[in-house]
């Protein structure tokens, strides 16, 4: 099986909460090597305080004009300071700049755990085409990771919450495991899958034994 070619497109990463070194180190733990893209010149980090970009969007525009990326990452918009109307105005102008230049944008936002969608979040929703939410799934006294598509403009999408795992080889999205008790995640899913596998093995073994017995009887009759 041949590996598909990688598109050599530039990406500009605006980091407002972590240093480039921290980001490179952190994503390496899940099997992503950003250093090689930095070395090749396809990836560039711009790290600064979010308030600076809130007051000087001209600087961000200048970086986009200079580097000419196909994609930009803004991490994170929750780091912007100001009133809801000020932050929304900044994001509106930022999105307008990116759309005008034909640049795909990936923006992250941190929502405090257990907090419902705020009015400011609903304002952001009107600016983006696709909104993917990550959160914790609590069941059987354990926490697992869940993902679902909150909205995706102009396309159909699943409304299911999918369990995912962060591994040394990247992100692994798990199939939904349904039972009469509902959707199972974490250890409950693994236990149910183990029981199902054991039953399937027992059934397969029983069929083989039955086939062997029928074969023995047939041989006996032929004699």
DSSP string over 6-50: PP---EEEEESSS-HHHHHHHHHTTT---HHHHHHTSEEEEE--H
Residue 119 has a pLDDT of 46
Is 184 inside a domain boundary? no
Weakest-pLDDT range from 43-47, 96-100, 132-136, 210-214: 210-214
- What are the angstrom distances between the C-alpha of 210 and each of 131, 198, 214, 219, 220? 54, 18, 6, 14, 15
Phi and psi at 150, nearest 5°, equal: -75, -40
**Mean pLDDT, to the nearest integer, of 89-118?**
81
Is 172 inside a domain boundary? no
Is 13 inside a domain boundary? yes
Is 136 inside a domain boundary? no
Could you give the residue ranges of the DSSP H alpha helices within the chain?
20-28, 35-40, 50-55, 57-67, 84-100, 119-125, 186-222
Residue 24 has a pLDDT of 95
pLDDT grade for 218, boundaries at 50, 70 and 90: low
> Strand 104-107 to strand 130-139: parallel, antiparallel, or no bridges (unpaired)?
unpaired
**Mean pLDDT, to the nearest integer, of 177-189?**
71
Spatial strand order of the sheet with 71-75 comes to: 43-47, 11-15, 71-75, 104-107
Integer Cα distance of 114 and 213 in angstroms? 60
pLDDT grade for 53, boundaries at 50, 70 and 90: low
Is 30 inside a domain boundary? yes
- At 27, which CATH number? 3.40.50.300
Number of domains the chain is built from:
1
Beta strands, E only, 111-189: 130-139, 142-152, 162-167, 170-173, 178-179, 182-183
Is 70 inside a domain boundary? yes
Structural domain containing residue 74: 7-111+120-128
Quick count: other Cβ atoms within 10 Å of Cβ 160?
A: 12
Instruction: Look up the pTM and report it.
Output: 0.74
pLDDT grade for 122, boundaries at 50, 70 and 90: low
**Mean pLDDT, to the nearest integer, of 188-214?**
71
Is 24 inside a domain boundary? yes
Rg (CA), the chain: 25
Give the residue from 156, 72, 148, 87 showing the smallest Cα distance to 123: 87
Is 170 inside a domain boundary? no
Residue 156 has a pLDDT of 87
Residue tagged 């991490």 (tokens): 75
Helix H or strand E segment including 73? strand 71-75
């Amino acid at each position: 099986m041949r590996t598909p070619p990688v598109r050599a497109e530039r990406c500009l990463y605006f980091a407002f909460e972590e240093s480039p070194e921290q980001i490179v180190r952190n994503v390496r733990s899940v099997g992503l090597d950003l250093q090689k893209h930095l070395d090749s010149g396809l990836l560039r980090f711009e790290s600064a305080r979010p308030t600076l970009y809130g007051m000087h969007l001209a600087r961000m525009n200048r970086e986009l004009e200079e580097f000419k990326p196909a994609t930009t990452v803004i991490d994170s918009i929750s780091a912007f300071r100001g009133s809801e109307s000020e932050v929304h105005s900044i994001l509106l102008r930022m999105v307008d700049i990116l759309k005008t230049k034909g640049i795909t944008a990936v923006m992250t936002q941190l929502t405090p755990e257990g907090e419902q969608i705020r009015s400011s979040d609903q304002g952001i929703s009107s600016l983006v085409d696709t909104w993917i939410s990550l959160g914790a799934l609590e069941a059987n006294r354990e926490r697992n990771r869940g993902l679902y598509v909150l909205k995706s403009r102009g396309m159909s999408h699943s409304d299911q919450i999918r369990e995912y795992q962060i591994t040394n080889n990247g992100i692994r999205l798990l199939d939904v495991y349904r039972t009469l008790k509902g959707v199972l995640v974490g250890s409950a899913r693994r236990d149910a899958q183990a029981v199902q596998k054991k039953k399937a093995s027992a059934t397969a073994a029983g069929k083989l034994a039955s086939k062997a017995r029928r074969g023995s009887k047939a041989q006996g009759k032929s004699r």
